[in-house]
């Protein structure tokens, strides 16, 4: 019997305004290969990326990012990674998903600092 575990999630508070963060998120697929921005709902501050099938994610993976303004100079980002189909059910998949989320967070930081365009 498979054990279903919650999808890996991370929250990050950063010292950038929400518009800068949203612009950096929209540029994420230029820097994290291979991902594609598939859903962009600006008025709800929601973005979804797909990563094609590879390795343990034989059917692909989704990364959802929600953005919330805390103040004019601080933004909260919420990340959730999950399989495109089915559910994450192994420790290895959890580790791979957190690794992917962390890589995306690092790239967002580089875009926001102006290290990447």
- CA 10 vs CA 13, 59, 98, 105, 115: distances in Å: 10, 23, 8, 10, 23
Instruction: Kindly state the percentage of the chain with pLDDT values over 70.
Output: 90
99, 54 in Cβ contact below 8 A?
Answer: no
Q: Domain range spanning residue 41?
A: 9-112
Q: Give residue-wise pLDDT tens across range 56-101.
A: 566 778 999 999 999 999 999 999 998 877 777 777 778 888 988 9
Find tokens 């004019």 and name the residue: 72
Query: Is 4 within the bounds of a domain?
Result: no
Which pTM value belongs to this model? 0.89
Structural domains in the chain (count): 1
Beta-carbon contacts of residue 28 (< 8 Å; ≥ 6 apart): 35, 37, 49, 104, 107, 108, 111
The answer to the question of residue 1 being in a domain is: no
Does residue 84 lie in a domain region? yes
The CATH number that applies at residue 45 is 3.30.530.20
pLDDT attached to residue 86? 72
Establish if 37 belongs to a structural domain.
yes
């Amino acid at each position: 019997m498979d054990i279903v575990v919650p999808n890996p999630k991370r929250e990050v508070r950063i010292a950038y305004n929400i518009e800068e963060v949203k612009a950096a998120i929209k540029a994420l697929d230029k820097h994290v290969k291979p991902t594609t921005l598939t859903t962009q709902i600006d008025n709800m501050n929601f973005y979804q990326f797909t990563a094609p099938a590879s390795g343990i994610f034989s059917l692909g993976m989704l990364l959802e990012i929600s953005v919330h303004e805390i103040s004019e100079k601080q933004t909260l980002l919420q990340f959730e990674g999950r399989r495109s189909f089915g559910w994450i059910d192994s420790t290895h998949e959890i580790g791979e998903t957190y690794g992917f989320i962390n890589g995306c967070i690092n790239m967002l930081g580089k875009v926001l600092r102006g290290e990447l365009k």
